[in-house]
Amino acid sequence: MKGITVLGSTGSIGVSTLDVLARHGDKYRVVALTANRDVEGMLLQCEQFRPEIAVMADANAANRLAKGLSDRDITTEVLSGLRGLEIAASMPAAHIVMAAIVGAAGLLPALAAVRAGKRLLLANKEALVVAGSLFMKEVAAHGAEILPIDSEHNAVFQCLPTGGDGDLVSGGVKRILLTASGGPFLTTPLEQLATVTPAQACAHPNWEMGRKISVDSATMMNKGLEVIEAHWLFHAKAEEIEVVLHPQSIIHSMVEYVDGSVLAQLGNPDMRTPIAHALAWPQRISSGVDSLNLFEVAQLDFEQPDLRRYPCLELAYQAIQAGGTASVVLNAANEVAVDAFLSQRLAFTEIARVVDETLQRLPVQSVEDLDTLLAIDGEGRAIAEQVMQNRVLSSGIG
């Protein structure tokens, strides 16, 4: 029986992971759960799975959780903060670690799992977006194993020879085709985008996701981050990764080979499929996902993304070409801008403009070490906040 740590257990990916694990209690045991501040959600999960460790973001949430567990006679040890996350990610009893903490906050615990040589199920894009080069070097140095959880990267992994080990050329791969739904504003007139609301942006047509990721899907920054992630995961150049709009979200991604073959992975839009695949790989286990009914699907559509509608996608490609710290700044500025949009302090169309201006203000540097990356991340956030405030004042929002 394999021990599992779920980082970010009360989020959408974490909940889906626990759903799959609950179906296979004979194969997996939950040894650690972590969450931000959802004490009630964590209490329910601890009651069901009885982990050895539960981690909350801060001492206040941890104290509330500890009291709730004590009232229920549950002996789970409660920890808090970054140190608690790193302990949960690297504990000997954990054979597999699900990295599902959203944003740059997930980087350090994911690195802790890598340095402990774990099988890391990577649902946190930012680990590779912020620290791709350093992260992959740590994976090689410590014999860790990365299996992608994003539906697109998991699909690519399934379509590549030997799961994507080695370079694409030796495997006969011509290019990777990442599919994208286009989000909720695929057909919205461009002139109306400036006035869309957070509720509209979070109403994804196919997937149930958290608010930040939903906004990233609406701007297609999510896809841009996935392009950067694919660049590191599969040793792919920017020109070897193409984004294809596919509104039905049935084909999760494709791989084209030099002989003209195109392999695609299809399935219903449900994150339990890639989660189950990565948990059991190279075997297969049931996920609880309904079988795909091709007769109901009937039609699959594809088109090129319009960069006037999705300027964030173009910014991500530019960050790959720039190299160094560009993707760190891209991610930091985007998190600041999306947070401002969700709190109704910034217009939807201003997100890309804040990111673009922040990238222009911060010169690209070579990546020296993790401390350098974290310092650049902080500087990017500070500059993005200044840019955002200036744009808010000039636009009259707030």
So what's the pLDDT on residue 393? Answer: 64
**Last-in-domain residue among 268, 290, 306:** 268
Q: State whether 119 and 192 are in the same domain.
A: no
Q: Is residue 311 part of a domain?
A: no
Contact 112, 97 (CB under 8 A): no
On the question of pLDDT at 392 being above 80, the answer is no
Contact 362, 329 (CB under 8 A): yes
74 is in an annotated binding site: no
Q: Is residue 277 part of a domain?
A: no
Angle, helix 126-142 to helix 221-233, in steps of 10 degrees? 10
Q: State whether 245 and 144 are in the same domain.
A: no
11 is in an annotated binding site: yes
Contact 355, 362 (CB under 8 A): no
Q: Which amino acid is at 309?
A: R
217 is in an annotated binding site: yes
Number of domains in the chain: 3
Q: State whether 107 and 173 are in the same domain.
A: no
Instruction: Kindly report the CATH number assigned to the domain that includes residue 97.
Output: 3.40.50.720
So what's the pLDDT on residue 102? Answer: 81
On the question of pLDDT at 241 being above 70, the answer is yes
High-pLDDT (> 70) share of the chain, %: 96
Q: State whether 144 and 34 are in the same domain.
A: yes
Residue 207 confidence class, pLDDT cut points 50, 70, 90: low
**Last-in-domain residue among 148, 171, 202:** 148
On the question of pLDDT at 47 being above 60, the answer is yes
Give the mean pLDDT of 234-258: 95
Residue 279 confidence class, pLDDT cut points 50, 70, 90: very high
Query: Could you give the CA distance from residue 29 to residue 3 in angstroms, rounded to a whole number?
Result: 5
On the question of pLDDT at 194 being above 60, the answer is yes
* Distances from the Cα of 150 to the Cα of 98, 116, 277, angstroms: 12, 23, 11
Give the mean pLDDT of 307-312: 96
Give the mean pLDDT of 9-20: 96
Q: State whether 85 and 193 are in the same domain.
A: no
On the question of pLDDT at 397 being above 60, the answer is no
The H or E element containing residue 272 is helix 272-280
So what's the pLDDT on residue 391? Answer: 74
Flag the least confident range among 42-46, 143-147, 209-213. Answer: 209-213
Q: Is residue 295 part of a domain?
A: no
Q: State whether 135 and 18 are in the same domain.
A: yes
Q: Is residue 353 part of a domain?
A: yes
So what's the pLDDT on residue 210? Answer: 76
Q: Is residue 219 part of a domain?
A: yes
Query: What are residue 241's DSSP bridge partners?
Result: 176
2 is in an annotated binding site: no
First to last CA, the chain: 54
On the question of pLDDT at 164 being above 70, the answer is no
Higher pLDDT among residues 396 and 334, named by residue: 334
Residue 158 confidence class, pLDDT cut points 50, 70, 90: very high
Q: Is residue 286 part of a domain?
A: no
So what's the pLDDT on residue 367? Answer: 80
Query: What are residue 226's DSSP bridge partners?
Result: none
249 is in an annotated binding site: no
Residue 165 confidence class, pLDDT cut points 50, 70, 90: low
Query: Could you give the CA distance from residue 274 to residue 288 in angstroms, rounded to a whole number?
Result: 12
So what's the pLDDT on residue 160? Answer: 94
Query: Could you give the CA distance from residue 139 to residue 116 in angstroms, rounded to a whole number?
Result: 10
So what's the pLDDT on residue 175? Answer: 96
Query: Could you give the CA distance from residue 34 to residue 17 in angstroms, rounded to a whole number?
Result: 13
Residue 213 confidence class, pLDDT cut points 50, 70, 90: confident
Q: Is residue 309 part of a domain?
A: no
Mean pLDDT of the chain: 93
37 is in an annotated binding site: yes
pLDDT in tens, 60-92: 999 999 999 999 999 999 999 999 999 999 999
**Last-in-domain residue among 126, 148, 170:** 148
Give the mean pLDDT of 365-388: 91
Contact 181, 204 (CB under 8 A): yes
So what's the pLDDT on residue 208? Answer: 67
223 is in an annotated binding site: yes
Q: Cα torsion for 279, 280, 284, 285, to the nearest 10°? A: -70
Q: State whether 169 and 141 are in the same domain.
A: no
Q: State whether 177 and 136 are in the same domain.
A: no
Contact 103, 109 (CB under 8 A): no
Q: State whether 227 and 204 are in the same domain.
A: yes
pLDDT in tens, 214-236: 999 999 999 999 999 999 999 99
Q: State whether 22 and 51 are in the same domain.
A: yes
Q: Is residue 290 part of a domain?
A: no
Q: State whether 171 and 131 are in the same domain.
A: no
Q: State whether 208 and 248 are in the same domain.
A: yes
Least Cα distance to 370 among 144, 127, 81 occurs for: 127
So what's the pLDDT on residue 166? Answer: 64
Give the mean pLDDT of 175-199: 94
On the question of pLDDT at 151 being above 80, the answer is yes
**Domain limits for position 343:** 323-395
125 is in an annotated binding site: yes
222 is in an annotated binding site: yes
So what's the pLDDT on residue 335? Answer: 93
Instruction: Kindly report the CATH number assigned to the domain that includes residue 374.
Output: 1.10.1740.10
Flag the least confident range among 100-114, 243-257, 279-293. Answer: 100-114
Contact 72, 43 (CB under 8 A): yes
151 is in an annotated binding site: yes
